[in-house]
Amino acid sequence: MNRPFLLSLEDVNKTFDGFKAISNLNLYLEEGELRVIIGPNGAGKSTMLDIITGRTRPDKGKVEYGPDTDLTRLNEYEINRLGIGRKFQTPSVYVNHTVEENVWLSLEGKRGVFASLFARKTPAQRTRIEEVLSIVGLLPHAKRVAGTMAHGQKQWLEIGMLLAQNPRLLLVDEPAAGMTDEETAKTGELLMSLEGKHTIVVIEHDMAFVRQIARKVTVLHQGTVLCEGSVDQVQSDERVVEVYLGRKKKGDH
Ligand code: ADP
Ligand code: MG
């Protein structure tokens, strides 16, 4: 059957010790779109990524990738091999290696870290490393040891390491956390430059950042979609305002 979506989650549920972290969640992503997911702490945003990437198995529901791949049957490694890359909140780079070595070690098709470091780079690999570093704005820092870089630069490097694997779907959890305003704006530009080339899901709290990059925004609350639309639409939605500002309607306790 022909399905128009790159990823679809249907009626997904996940309970932890009796607590419903994900509840009847439906989410549909089109190929090449940049989707922003917002929602208060504990809304289930990271758990949703855990489910997509196979870190957590849903109790119930469908997670379909492409026309006919059921992700709930695959493990994390197999899912990653299908072109789904995830960036966790905190940067994880090889701190003792240079920026370019970090990208090299992440290149698509490379085997173990040990094999990589003692192999020679092919011209195609050199070109690809330069390409990736240029996309994430770190070409001038190629020879620096990653551990000496600023927090924002480490985050960009890690995005570069994901790009080195040429993912079809890129999942990015709160990339602007802990960044300066300037770094945040740069991160926004970087993510927007990837739109169309990859399908990107960005989870974010910082509303200025959301406003900068957002096309379609999905608001998650109590493990389910509260509303979806443009930034203006969701920001003016009464339910979203209530959830974010903790306002109560008359009659609520
Ligand atoms: P968000 O990323 O939106 O802040 P999370 O997905 O991290 O929210 O968490 C949603 C809820 O699920 C939270 O109440 C959290 O404590 C709970 N939760 C997430 N992962 C686990 C887990 N592995 N075990 C138990 N509870 C979890
Ligand atoms: Mg989270």
Boundaries of every domain in the chain: 1-83+169-253, 92-166
Separation CA 245–CA 248 (nearest Å) = 9
For 125, the 3-state DSSP assignment is helix
The model carries a pTM of: 0.91
To the nearest 10°, report the CA torsion of 153, 156, 162, 164: -80
Q: In ligand 1, which atom is closest to the CA atom of 223?
A: 10
Separation CA 240–CA 236 (nearest Å) = 8
For 63, the 3-state DSSP assignment is strand
* pLDDT band, residue 114 (cuts 50/70/90): low
Q: In ligand 1, which atom is closest to the CA atom of 17?
A: 25
User: Are the C-beta atoms of 161 and 106 separated by less than 8 Å?
Assistant: yes
Which residue's CA is the closest to the ligand 1 atom numbered 22?
Answer: 16
CATH class of 1-83+169-253: alpha beta
Q: What are phi and psi of 80, to 5 degrees?
A: -60, -40
Query: Mean pLDDT, to the nearest integer, of 56-80?
Result: 96
**Could you tell me whether strands 216-221 and 224-229 are parallel, antiparallel, or unpaired per DSSP bridges?**
antiparallel
Q: 43 in ligand 1 pocket by Cβ < 6 Å?
A: yes
Which residue's CA is the closest to the ligand 1 atom numbered 6?
Answer: 44
* Residue to substitute in 47, 55, 224 for testing ligand 1 pocket (most ligand atoms within 8 angstroms of CB): 47
Tell me the pLDDT tens digit for each residue of 194-240. 999 999 999 997 888 999 998 899 999 999 999 999 999 999 999 99
Of 166, 235, 169, the C-alpha closest to 29 is 169
Query: Mean pLDDT, to the nearest integer, of 186-190?
Result: 96
Tell me the pLDDT tens digit for each residue of 126-143. 999 999 999 999 999 999
